[in-house]
Amino acid sequence: MSTSLFGDHIKRLSASYDNALARKQKAGSNIDAILLHSGTEQMYFGDDRHIKFQAFGHFSHWLPVPRPDQFVLYRTGHKPVYLQVVPDDYWYEQTVDLNAGWVEQFEVVRLKQVAAVAAQLQGLKCAYLGENTSLANSWGIATGQCNPASLLAYLDFHRAVKSPYELEQLRAASKLALQGHAAARQCFLQGGSEYEIHMAFLTACNILEEESPYTNIVALDEKSAILHYQNKRRGTGSGTGSGSGKHSQVLLIDAGCRVNGYCSDITRTSVKTTTHPVFQSLVRGMDTLQQSLVKAVRPGLPYPKLQALALRGVVDLLVEHGICHGAGADLFEQGIGQWFMPHGVGHLLGIQVHDVGGHQVDENGAKLPPPANSPSLRNTRIMAEDMVFTVEPGLYFIPMILEAKRQSDQAALVNWHLVKELYSCGGIRIEDNVRIAGVGAENLTRQFEQQR
């Protein structure tokens, strides 16, 4: 990690928070400080076991410390203060490992208990950002100053544009995840089960499952048509639906890594030489389509236009492969693409996998909803330099969707015999992480990917 880049990042973040406080004061607020809380550890209902903790995104924007009950206190004109709560505890490890380059950017105040934070707020008029508003109330922070909508809207909106430090972490997260993807593909080609492929990914990345930024999607064959497939079949059976991998023809793996709090989100679809030839060709076509979409990325392009380009590319592939009949333009206008790609082409990426502010029009919180024909699109922003998002077109054979269309007026547009053959193959998704550059795009993923 570059210490100088982190220092520049903190300066940039401080300027943003100065602006946020000035806006609040101009609007009549007397707020003069912002207290960010990483969050409070939770337990499973009726149990004494903790749920894996994930720090609040705006806290992580300052410090990559994934621990509960840590605080950053910010005031204009002052060095940010890291209120490091480290209780005396012999049940759990409490050591906080901090990079020296991080520490020098903060005034570090070490406390033994959360209650001691209150004394650090004396004389300040704080806004509180975090989940435990009752805790903030107990320290005299009014409910109206807990997660003020206008303040969060401003911070959410500006988090879409990344600093050079953040881009460094995102590149590293992509590079690390690709090690796992290469191992996963090799395991698939050798007949591995979903569980074995999943473990191959984790081992190659040297991470625990709980350290992943999201639950890995490792889907063989027909399961790859379940968009957020959550299981990891161990393949103890011998049938084609057992997830054994031995006879599987298709792998869709959607998996990423986290580096200093920043996420990668990468999807690859692999096939064997024995896979249905039409599906093999579709995978190659989707890879070409995905790369063409990345090339279309540029500053000033509304993200919904990328969604339209993706859907048009999908219908063209359907026509080219004899899955649908007619002209691509007509099928696009009739919404046939959504039958085969029911999700959005991507989302903002950063500290969170689905990063905040994707539908915001401005820093005041106004929103632009997704198009009516693509309600699942998570990003409607105008592309701007140093934004980072995913580009992930998909093409799936989902019985739940397609079988419901057999009796529709548009049913004659589909080659149902071929669709039925392809149900067992599931679906295709190709996903890279992309940064808007000055005149085009930087593919944060492909630049590290070796030839397959």
Residue 129 pLDDT > 50 = yes
Alpha carbons within 13 A on the beta-carbon side of 423: 13
Q: What is the mean pLDDT of residues 359-373?
A: 97
Q: Is the confidence at residue 154, as pLDDT, over 90?
A: yes
pLDDT digits (tens, 9 = 90+) for 216-263: 999 999 999 999 999 999 985 444 555 667 899 999 999 999 999 999
Residues 198-206 have a mean pLDDT of 98
Q: Which domains does the chain have, with CATH numbers?
A: 3-158 (3.40.350.10), 164-448 (3.90.230.10)
Which of the two residues, 338 and 239, has the higher pLDDT score?
338
CA distances from 204 to 72, 103, 289, 419, 430 (A): 34, 31, 29, 36, 20
pLDDT at position 241 is: 54
Would the pLDDT of 212 be above 50?
yes
Among 174, 397, 190, 433, CA closest to 283: 397
- Tokens 């200093």 belong to 260
Q: How many CB atoms lie within 10 A of CB 32?
A: 15
Amino acid identity, residue 401?
Answer: I
Mean per-residue pLDDT over the chain, rounded = 95
The fraction of the chain above a pLDDT of 70, given in percent, is 97
CB contact at 8 A, 73 and 107: no
Kindly report the pTM of this predicted structure.
Answer: 0.95
pLDDT of residue 244: 64
Residue 267, both tokens: 């999807």
Q: What pLDDT score does 451 carry?
A: 52
Quick: pLDDT tens for 397-424: 999 999 999 999 999 999 999 999 999 9
If pLDDT is split at 50, 70 and 90, which confidence band does 155 have?
very high
Whether the per-residue pLDDT at 452 is higher than 80: the answer is no
pLDDT at 237: 46
The first and second tokens of residue 403, run together, are 């079988």
pLDDT value for 222: 97
Q: pLDDT band for position 93 (50/70/90)?
A: confident
Higher model confidence: residue 90 or residue 258? Answer: 258
pLDDT at 360: 98
Q: Please state the rounded mean pLDDT for residues 96-118.
A: 92
H or E element at residue 389: strand 388-391
CB 322 within 8 A of CB 422: no
Q: Mean pLDDT across the stretch 98-123?
A: 94
The confidence band for 267, taking pLDDT boundaries of 50, 70 and 90, is: very high
Mean pLDDT, residues 130-135: 97
